[in-house]
Amino acid sequence: MKKKIESDEIDLIEVIANIWNNKLKIATITAIFIILSVAYYFTFKPSITAKTEILPITFFENDFYTGYNSLVGFQIENEEEKIVSQVRFNNINKEYLLNLFLEELKTGTIIQEAIKKYQLIDQSKFNDENEYLEAVEKYALSLDLLRPVNVDGSKRGETRLNWIIEFNVDDKNKWEETLSFIEIEINKTIQKYLRESFNITLNNLKLLDQFKTEDLNQKIEFAKNDYEFETSNRLAFLNEQASIARKLNIANNTLEVENFSTPSGVISNVQTATPYYMRGYSMIEKEIELIKTRTNKNAFTKNLLELEKQKRDLLIDKSLERIERLFNSTPIVNGNNFKAASIIYKDTIYETSFSLIKAVLFAGIFGIIFGMFYVLISNAIQQRR
C-alpha cells in the first residue's frame, strides 16, 4: 500500500515536470487559440444591443405652456357646446408631448429614413430596390421601446425611470448619428403637427361661432316677424271686440265683480270668462291706438332681449383670440427651441453577447487546458513506444 502511494506521488511530480518542460509548447498552443478567437471576433462581430433613454421635457420647459393651458382648460370647462361637438384644443404638457413623440417613434417612418440616410444596411448586398426596402422596414420594426417600470422603487427587481430605445447595431458612431437625426426629425414633425392641428381647431371654432351668430340673427329675425304676425292678429281681434262693444253700447268695463266679506277684509271675485268686448270699447280702442303708435317694437317682441344678449356675448367673446396669442407665444411657434422629448444618444449603453476581453480570456483558459492535455497525452504515447 505504501509503495502505491509513493508511486502516485512520483507520477504527480512527473506530470508537473512534464508540463513545465513543455511550457513553450503549451504557450504556443494557447497563443494559437487566442489568435483564432481574436480573428473570429473581428470576422464575425457579435451583435451589439444599444439602450438609449428618452427624456420628457423639463418642468422649466413645461412652464412655457402654463398660460395657454390655463385658458384652454377654462374654455373647455365652461363651453359645453364645444365639448359636445368634440372640437376643442388639447392641453399641451410634458405627458402629452412625450406620448406624441413615442407614437411617432412607433410608426417607424422616420427610423426607416434614418437607416437609409446613415446606411445602417448595405444596399449593395441586395438584388433590387424592393428587397432592400423590405429589409429596411424589417430592421426598423426590430426597434423596441421599453416602458418605465418600478419607477418609485417600491418593488424588487429592475427599475427603469424613463422609456428606453433598444436596438441591435453594428456601428456605434453611426447609431448615435442616427439617433440624433431621429430626435430632430420627430420633434420637427410634432411641431408641424401641433401648429396645423391648432390652426384647424381654431378655424373650426371660429366657424362654429360664425354659425352661432348666423343662427341667432335668424332667430332674431323670426322673433321680429312673429311680433308683426302676432300684432296683426291681435289688432284684428281687438277691432272685432271694439265693434261688438260699440254695437252693444258698452263704453266702459262691465266685468262682474263679486265681493265676499271675511273677518280679514273684502275679497273680490272677477269673472274672467266674460267676453273681451265687455271691457268696453273705450279701453279696447285705446289698446288699439297704443299698439299702432308703438315706436319701440323690440321692447314688446318675445325672447328678443335674450337673443340679443346671446349675440352680444358671442361677438364680444375674445377667448379664441387670446388662446391664439398665448399659443403663438409657446416654443411651438416662437423660436427654434421646441422639443417634445429628447433622446440621450450620447449616454447610450452598449451591451454585447461577448466582448473581446472575454473572448481572449476564455480562449486563453481553453488553450492552456488543451495544451496541457496535448503534452500529457503525447508523453504517454511516447512512453508506451
The 10s digit of each residue's pLDDT in 261-292 is: 555 555 555 555 688 899 899 999 999 999 99
Output the pLDDT for position 332: 95
Local structure of residue 340 (DSSP, 8 states): S
* pLDDT for 142 beyond 50: yes
- Does residue 284 contact residue 250 with C-beta atoms inside 8 Å? no
Taking residues 352-380, report their average pLDDT: 77
Angstrom distance (rounded) from CA 298 to CA 300: 5
pLDDT band at 1 (very low <50, low <70, confident <90, very high): very low
Q: What average pLDDT does the structure give for the chain?
A: 84
CA distances from 22 to 33, 127, 384 (A): 17, 54, 19
Output the pLDDT for position 308: 93
Radius of gyration over every alpha carbon of the chain, rounded to an integer in angstroms = 46
Per the model's pLDDT, the better-predicted residue between 373 and 213 turns out to be 213
Cell for 369? 487546458
Long-range contacts of 329-332 (CB under 8 A, 24+ apart): 329/67, 329/68, 330/64, 330/65, 330/68, 330/92, 331/61, 331/64, 332/92, 332/191, 332/194, 332/195, 332/198
* pLDDT for 361 beyond 90: no
- Does residue 68 contact residue 194 with C-beta atoms inside 8 Å? no
User: What backbone torsions phi and psi does residue 129 show, to the nearest 5 degrees?
Assistant: -65, -40
Helix (H, G, I), strand (E, B) or coil at 376: helix
Angstrom distance (rounded) from CA 198 to CA 86: 14
Percentage of the chain beyond pLDDT 90 is 55
Lowest mean pLDDT among 82-86, 149-153, 236-240, 311-315: 82-86
Cell for 247? 254695437
How many Cβ atoms sit within 10 Å of the Cβ of residue 312? Answer: 11
Output the pLDDT for position 305: 93
Nearest CA to 190 out of 69, 104, 109 is that of 104
pLDDT in tens, 152-209: 777 777 788 899 999 998 888 999 999 999 999 999 999 999 999 999 999 999 999 9
115, with CB counted inside 10 A (0-12, 13-18, 19+), is buried
Output the pLDDT for position 286: 92
Taking residues 57-78, report their average pLDDT: 82
Q: Describe the chain by its helix, strand, coil percentages, rounded to 5.
A: 65, 10, 25
pLDDT band at 8 (very low <50, low <70, confident <90, very high): very low
Residues sharing a CB contact under 8 Å with residue 228, sequence separation 6 or more, in sequence order = none
Local structure of residue 344 (DSSP, 8 states): -
- Does residue 147 contact residue 163 with C-beta atoms inside 8 Å? yes
Taking residues 19-46, report their average pLDDT: 77
pLDDT in tens, 203-257: 999 999 999 999 999 999 999 999 999 999 999 999 999 999 999 999 998 765 5
Helix (H, G, I), strand (E, B) or coil at 48: strand
Helix (H, G, I), strand (E, B) or coil at 145: strand
Cell for 245? 262693444
Would you list the domain boundaries of the chain?
1-43+373-385
How many Cβ atoms sit within 10 Å of the Cβ of residue 361? Answer: 14
Nearest CA to 281 out of 258, 256, 249 is that of 249
Output the pLDDT for position 17: 75
User: What backbone torsions phi and psi does residue 48 show, to the nearest 5 degrees?
Assistant: -110, 125
Taking residues 45-54, report their average pLDDT: 86
* pLDDT for 316 beyond 90: yes
Angstrom distance (rounded) from CA 266 to CA 271: 16
Output the pLDDT for position 29: 81
pLDDT band at 5 (very low <50, low <70, confident <90, very high): very low
pLDDT band at 3 (very low <50, low <70, confident <90, very high): very low
Percentage of the chain beyond pLDDT 70 is 85
Output the pLDDT for position 385: 61
Cell for 282? 273705450
Taking residues 123-151, report their average pLDDT: 90
Output the pLDDT for position 354: 64
Nearest CA to 327 out of 59, 70, 60 is that of 70
Output the pLDDT for position 68: 92
Per the model's pLDDT, the better-predicted residue between 152 and 143 turns out to be 143
How many Cβ atoms sit within 10 Å of the Cβ of residue 307? Answer: 20
